[in-house]
Each structure stands twice: as C-alpha cells, then as structure tokens.
Amino acid sequence: MKKIGVLTSGGDAPGMNAAIRAVVRNGVYRGCEIIGIKRGYEGLLNGQYTEMNLSSVADIIHRGGTILGTARSEEFKTNGGRNKALEFIKKVGLEGLIVIGGDGSFKGAQELCKLGVPTVGVPGTIDNDLNYTDYTIGFDTAMNTVLDAISKIRDTSTSHERTNIIEVMGRDCGDIALYSGLAGGAESIILPEISLDIEKICEKILNGIKRGKRHSIIMLAEGAGSAIDLAKSIQDITGIETRTTILGYIQRGGSPTAFDRILASKMGAKAVDILLDGEENKVVGVNGNDIIAKDIDMALKTEKRFDKSAYDLADILSR
C-alpha cells in the first residue's frame, strides 16, 4: 500500500491535529504518500484534498481544532454521496483511508469498508462515548476545560452562597459530566444513564447547608435535560438562589493535554501500521496501556458501559 488518505469528521476534538501529524509522519516514515482530505466526508465526495508531507504537519501538535477541517455530511449518508466519494477515491488512487472522528464518522467508515475501501477509524471525540476503547482523543482535554470552569464557578458560588448548575456536552453519554464532577467535587451529577431524582438532589443541598456548606455545584450532562428548567425546580424546592452556566463550545477547543497528545500520536501511528500490515475495517482504541485494534462492526455494536462505581463514589465524597 502506497497511498493513504486521512480525514477528520464530525465534531472536532483537541488532539485531532496530533493524530493527523502521527498519520502523516509515520506514513512517510513507512514509505507512503499521504493525502489529506479536507472537510471530512464532504471533501471526499467533492474532491477537496491536499498532498501532505513532513512539513505540512509541523507546528500543529499543540493546536486544538483540525487543520483539515471537519463537517457533518448529510450527502455522504446517501448512496449517491458515497458513490461520488468512491469515484474520487479511485481517481486519486487511494488504497486506504484513515477516518478520525466519533461514532457517526465510524458509521461512514463502515459503509466505505462495504464498498471495498480499506478503512481504519481513530476515535476523536470529546464525548468518550465509544465503548470498545477506554478513552477517545479529546475527552481528557474537554474534561480539564470543564474542571477549570468548575473551579472558577466554585469561587463565585461560595461568595454568593448559591447553587450553580453547570451543563456540559457529551450528547447521550454522561462521561464528561461524571468524571469532571468527580474531579471537581460536585455535590450532584445528573446523567442520561441514571434517572433524575430531584428530591434527593435538593435534600443533599439542604443537608449541606445545615452542616455549614456555603454552596453546591451540580453537573448536568446535556443528554439529561435542560439546565434552565432544572434550576427553576431546584430553586423552587430549596429556596436557594440557583444559577446556570452552559459551557458549550469552549469544551471543544483549546490546546490538547499531554494525555490526548500521546493518545493521538499512538493511535494515529497505529492506524497506518494496521493498513500497511494488510488489515482493514478496524478501529483503533486503548485498553489500559495497550493500543488495540478492533473490528469496526463489533466496535459499533458494543454498548457503552456506565461507570456506576465512579458515580456512587462522587456522591459519597461530596456529602
């Protein structure tokens, strides 16, 4: 295999650039030509690409976002769109493709596999919602961004003796809220994986006040409801002034942490190795300290495991 394409797709995640760099540098090291596809699957079906070399990925390991650009392509979900992409792949002579993205992007990769294009997925999403891997690229950075926000909100929350609800991203997965809540000492964590018990949350706020707590932080995963509605209910029940912060897109930006850079470097390089070893239709992941490869169909079928012990621990430690 001599010519490999690489694209980033779906929501961007800090560390995607480090993954692109690893694909290009390891690919060149192993004697391949690397083609960067711009704007995810949109670029694949519209023929937007750039030839990459060692210098094209200089000075990007520390940068958030993705130098290739990204998109959520509706056209690629159609047969017509995928056939256009296939025509482009043949025209340019791509013998393999590396897709850096989340589960939606992997579904696209799966379709390309069915059309006979050797494809390898690299998990790049802040959501950490893929079960076959312990971590996705970008999750650690997003969590640290949220943690920084929790510390700042904690300051003002204490001064004003308020309850503060912090809504974070994650789509249908509560990992960002769960682990940043555990790390940030949040009093309650509301997740899509656990049904909401508002009475219990309010009781905990009031018990905290009784024993001298001056404020409460409540983490809310976006998939579990609306921060505004929740704040109103909590304020009505407890009588404590309750404010909300929706962190939004700051969670998707910023310089990747060391953890994400290392993960992205290892995973990007591994994706090239997999293609060059003649394997295909795989996704790269991490299990403990090992970088692993799984069959893409199996990986997409596996249900995300919920870490109930982390949830219970966060509750016990914040009493």
Annotated catalytic sites, by residue?
Answer: 127
- 173 vs 269, beta carbon nearer ligand F6P: 173
Nearer CB in complex with ligand F6P: 127/260: 127
In whole angstroms, how close is the CB of 172 to ligand F6P at the nearest point?
Answer: 8
Binders of ligand F6P among 242-301, rule CB under 6 A? 252
Query: Is residue 11 at the binding interface for ligand F6P, with CB under 6 A as the rule?
Result: yes
b/e code 232-245 from CB counts within 10 Å (16+ = b) = eebbebbebebbbb
Three-class secondary structure assignment of 62-80: CCCCCCCCCCCCCHHHCHH
**d(C-alpha 72, C-alpha 129), whole Å:** 17
Residue (147 or 276) nearer to ligand F6P, CB:
147
Of positions 4, 98, 169, 293, contacts ligand F6P by CB under 6 A? 169
Residue 254 assigned as binding residue: no
Min dist CB 79 to ligand F6P, Å, is 23
Q: Looking at 119, 125, 164, 180, which residue binds ligand F6P (CB under 6 A)?
A: 125
The one segment of 46-54, 169-177, 239-247, 287-295 that binds ligand F6P by CB under 6 A: 169-177
Count of Cβ atoms closer than 10 Å to residue 136 Cβ:
29
With CB under 6 A as the contact rule, the residue among 102, 123, 181, 184 that binds ligand F6P is 102
**CA atoms 258, 264, 265, 267: torsion sign:** positive
Angstrom distance (rounded) from CA 84 to CA 95: 16
Q: Minimum distance between the CB of residue 133 and ligand F6P, rounded to whole angstroms?
A: 15
54 and 30 Cβ atoms separated by less than 8 Å? no
Binder to ligand F6P among 15, 121, 123, 170 (CB under 6 A)? 170
Touching ligand F6P, residues 189-228 (CB under 6 A): 222
Q: Is 30 a known ligand-binding residue?
A: no
Angle (nearest 5°) at CA 127 between 66 and 296 = 85
- Total binding residues toward ligand F6P, as defined by CB under 6 A: 11
Q: How far is the CB of 249 from ligand F6P (least distance, A)?
A: 7
Phi then psi for residue 211, to 5 deg, are -100, 20
Contact track, ligand F6P, 62-101, x by CB under 6 A:
----------x-----------------------------
Provide CB contacts within 8 A for 84, sequence distance 6+. 45, 46, 75
82 annotated to bind ligand: no
* Cβ proximity of 25 and 57 under 8 Å: yes
Count, residues in the chain: 319
Distance CA 107, CA 152 (A): 38
* Block residue for tokens 């850096």: 100
Task: List residues forming the annotated binding site for Mg(2+).
Answer: 103
Task: List residues forming the annotated binding site for ADP.
Answer: 21-25, 154, 185-187, 211, 213-215
Task: List residues forming the annotated binding site for ATP.
Answer: 11, 72-73, 102-105
Residue ranges binding ligand F6P (CB under 6 A): 11, 72, 102, 125-127, 169-171, 222, 252
